[in-house]
């Protein structure tokens, strides 16, 4: 007997599971509460889960006209023109095995065909476009190229590459001109990966298309430029932040992909350990003072800050931000982009915001003494202030603020805490391989002869990389009365660290080792991101 589930009984599964990410829905997901076999699902509003697509080959989806939507440990959801098509459901069951029941929903046949082309055939469409572009015709003139014609091959190639990067959940796209070719790389899970090498003659037309989309000057090729644009891809609006920079063989262009659905994550879904989350929420409960989030570029500081603002956002508080630039619009939050042309910097922005009756203030970055002075002044006048700071650790934020010019007494009495974080890749659960620790690994804290470590292997689920997705490693420094006294009398870093460890402070490297012992990441990944020096027991 084929184990299938009607669309009506699937509502609870789809309410619990976001079609976009496999995480619990937090708004914005399609509603299937009242769905039945006579109700059409609007595939234009559905964000297909990549893991579901990977379970059904392209030829099977095209032959039976079905579209995978989402999956969890118990169920697999798909769209069919006829939800009672037993032949198609039997084929899916043969591919999935008996561990999951099938949830079949009804969708328009034409919509299914378009969705299959959109989600499965991006790579094929890129190859088809490239085959149609003859090298001898690949030298368009920037001044005459009809960039507004969607039928042009270069225009379609750019859009196909952007759609491919979004489908792969890339965070950045790099277009890098070399002497004899154009290299295209995506940043996937924090690591750059080469995807394609294109004919160098196609780059001028592609560059013009990107500049026009981003509102940049197509005639300027010798100076850096910045811009941004939005496209509707995979059923949602995706923002792109564009930066061009002149290099030896032309203009290098990098696009930052800003996906609101992935960028705004509830605090409880950041993947933090329970004790780390409790420490963080304890800091947020303080009525006033400054909280810093530190880490290098790409360490997830913006995601954490937006998660914090989402956690605190409610009708009874006034939240105002200064960002460079605003990445994700938030409801109720008054967000301002720093504007050098209008001579609005962080220090001036804070001074203006204080006249707007704020309860919570977010400062994009403390870069200089003027910004630090205004941030601490806001904290002293009864506001909750959040800001980012470049330092290698939570403890390193204290000497960094002293170097900027913050007085020890001011810092001690107004700094609530510091959060430092990094992002590490998560081992693919389908192909990770267990191994016993060697002598060198046994010297690390917490690792014993009975410990089981895992290493990446690579399979179809993770595109043969061995990792799928990322998680945050976070250390939370809370300023208590004893630490205030140490800061006020300029205690050494050794004294500060000794006090913090006595209070149960867990450094980033120890948090990384804990995640290794839990089988969530590998020692090599922790070594790559935070290093293992200085932790040998």
Highest mean pLDDT among 34-48, 59-73, 249-263, 399-413: 399-413
H-helix or E-strand containing 186?
A: strand 182-188
Q: How confident is the model at residue 84 (pLDDT cuts 50, 70, 90)?
A: confident
Q: Please tell me whether residues 132 and 110 are part of one structural domain.
A: no
Same domain? 57 vs 134: no
pLDDT tens for 495-526 read 999 999 998 899 999 999 999 999 999 999 99
Q: Are residues 221 and 272 in the same domain?
A: no
Q: With 60 as the cut, is the pLDDT of residue 372 above it?
A: yes
Q: Are 182 and 203 in contact (CB under 8 A)?
A: yes
Tokens of 264: 């705004």
Backbone CA torsion sign across 459, 465, 469, 471: positive
| CA nearest to 79, candidates 7, 2, 29, 167 | 7
Do 167 and 287 sit in the same domain of this protein? Answer: no
Closest CA to 313 of 252, 267, 256: 267
Cα–Cα distances (Å) from 146 to 142, 150, 152, 155, in that order, read 9, 9, 8, 9
Residue 447 included in any domain:
no
Of 209, 239, 261, which residue sits at a domain end?
261
In this structure, the answer to whether residues 90 and 235 fall within a common structural domain is no
Please give the order of strands across the beta sheet that includes 191-198.
191-198, 182-188, 172-177, 250-259, 236-247, 225-233
User: Which CATH number fits the domain that encloses residue 241?
Assistant: 3.30.450.90
Looking at the whole model, is its pTM more than 0.85? no
Both 217 and 330 in a single domain?
no
Q: Which of 390, 337, 391, 345 is nearest to 371 (CA)?
A: 345
Reported as a single tens digit per residue, the pLDDT across 217-239 is 999 999 999 999 998 876 678 89
Residue 27 has pLDDT above 50, yes or no: no
102-153 confidence digits (pLDDT tens): 888 999 888 888 788 767 765 557 877 787 776 554 554 444 444 444 457 8
Are residues 380 and 492 both part of a single domain? yes
- β-sheet bridge partners, residue 232: 237
463 domain residue, yes or no: no
Q: What is the pLDDT of residue 37?
A: 47
Is the pLDDT confidence value at 478 over 90?
A: yes
Residue 472: Cβ-neighbour burial (10 angstroms; 0-12, 13-18, 19+): buried
Q: Is residue 452 part of a domain?
A: no
| Residue 14 vs residue 260, higher pLDDT | 260
Cβ pair 89, 69 in contact under 8 A = no
Range of the domain at 134: 121-261
Tally of structural domains, the chain? 3
Q: With a cut of 60, say whether residue 4 has pLDDT above it.
A: no
At 209 the pLDDT is 94
CATH of the domain at 313: 3.40.50.300
491 and 380 assigned to the same domain: yes
User: 3-state class of 350 per DSSP?
Assistant: helix
Q: Phi and psi at residue 417, in whole multiples of 5°?
A: -175, 170
Cα–Cα distance, 92 to 411 (Å, whole number)? 61
What is the predicted pLDDT for the residue at 338? 86
Same domain, 328 and 421: yes
Strand pairing category for 182-188 and 75-80: unpaired
CATH number at residue 94: 3.30.300.160
Contacts of 58 (CB under 8 A, 6+ apart): 116, 120, 121
Are both 114 and 155 inside the same structural domain? no
**37-47 exposure pattern, b = at least 16 Cβ within 10 A, e = fewer:** eeeebebeebb
390: closest CA among 379, 378, 403? 403
- pLDDT digits 0-9 by tens, 481-500: 999 999 999 999 899 999 99
- Distance between CA 163 and CA 159 in Å, rounded? 6
Please provide the DSSP assignment of 479-500 as one string: --HHHHHHHHTT--HHHHHHHH
**Mean confidence (pLDDT) of the chain:** 84
The last residue of a domain, from among 236, 261, 286? 261
Q: Give residue-wise pLDDT tens across range 273-327.
A: 888 999 999 999 999 999 999 998 888 898 899 999 999 999 999 999 999 888 8
Nearest to 302 by CA among 411, 207, 419, 209: 419
Distance CA 220, CA 209 (A): 14
Is 239 in the same domain as 217? yes
Domain termination site, one of 57, 86, 119: 119
In this prediction, residues 267-271 reach a mean pLDDT of 84
282 and 351 both lie in a single domain: yes
Length of the chain: 537
């Amino acid at each position: 007997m084929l184990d299938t589930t009607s669309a009506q009984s699937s509502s609870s599964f789809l309410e619990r599971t976001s079609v976009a990410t496999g995480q619990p829905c937090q708004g914005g997901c399609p509603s299937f509460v009242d769905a039945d076999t006579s109700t059409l699902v609007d595939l234009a509003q559905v964000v297909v889960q990549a893991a579901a697509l990977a379970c059904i080959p392209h030829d099977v989806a095209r032959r039976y006209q079905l579209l995978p939507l989402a999956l969890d440990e118990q169920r697999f959801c798909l769209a069919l023109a006829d939800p009672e098509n037993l032949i198609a459901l039997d084929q899916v069951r043969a591919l999935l095995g008996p561990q999951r029941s099938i949830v079949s929903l009804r969708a328009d046949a034409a919509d299914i065909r378009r969705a299959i082309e959109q989600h499965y055939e991006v790579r094929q469409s890129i190859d088809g476009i490239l085959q149609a572009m003859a090298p001898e015709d690949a030298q368009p003139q920037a001044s005459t190229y009809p960039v507004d014609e969607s039928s042009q091959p270069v225009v379609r190639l750019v859009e196909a590459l952007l759609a491919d990067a979004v489908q792969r959940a890339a965070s950045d796209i790099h277009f890098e001109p070399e002497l004899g070719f154009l290299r295209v790389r995506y940043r996937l899970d924090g690591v750059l990966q080469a995807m394609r090498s294109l004919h160098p003659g196609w780059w001028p037309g592609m560059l013009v298309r990107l500049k026009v989309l981003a509102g940049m000057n197509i005639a300027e090729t010798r100076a850096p430029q910045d811009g941004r644009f939005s496209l509707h891809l995979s059923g949602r609006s995706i923002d792109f932040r564009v930066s061009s920079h002149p290099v030896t063989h032309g203009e290098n262009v990098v696009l930052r992909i800003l996906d609101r659905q992935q960028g705004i994550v509830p605090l409880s879904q950041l993947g933090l350990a329970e004790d780390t989350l409790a420490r963080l929420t304890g800091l947020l409960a303080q009525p006033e003072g400054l909280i810093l989030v530190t880490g290098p570029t790409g360490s997830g500081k913006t995601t954490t800050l937006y998660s914090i603002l989402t956690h605190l956002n409610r009708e009874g508080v006034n939240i105002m931000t200064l960002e460079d630039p605003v990445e994700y619009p938030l409801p109720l939050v008054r967000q301002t982009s720093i504007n050098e042309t209008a001579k609005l910097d962080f220090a001036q922005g804070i001074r203006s915001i204080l006249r707007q009756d704020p309860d919570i203030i977010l400062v994009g970055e403390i870069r200089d003494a003027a910004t630090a002075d205004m941030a601490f002044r806001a904290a002293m006048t009864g506001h909750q202030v959040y800001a980012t700071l470049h330092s290698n650790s939570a403890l390193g934020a204290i000497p960094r603020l002293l170097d900027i010019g913050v007085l020890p007494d001011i810092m001690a009495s107004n700094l609530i805490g510091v959060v430092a974080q990094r992002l590490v890749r998560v081992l693919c659960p389908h192909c990770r391989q267990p191994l016993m620790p060697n002598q060198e690994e046994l010297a690390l804290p917490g690792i014993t002869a009975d410990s089981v470590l895992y290493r990446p292997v690579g399979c179809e689920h993770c595109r043969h990389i061995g990792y799928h997705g990322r998680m945050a490693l976070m250390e939370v420094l809370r300023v208590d009365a004893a630490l205030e006294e140490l800061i006020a009398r300029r205690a050494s870093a050794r004294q500060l660290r000794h006090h913090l460890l006595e209070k149960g402070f867990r450094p980033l490297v120890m948090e990384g080792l804990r995640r290794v012992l839990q089988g969530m990441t590998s020692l090599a990944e922790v070594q790559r991101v935070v290093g293992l020096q200085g932790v040998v027991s």
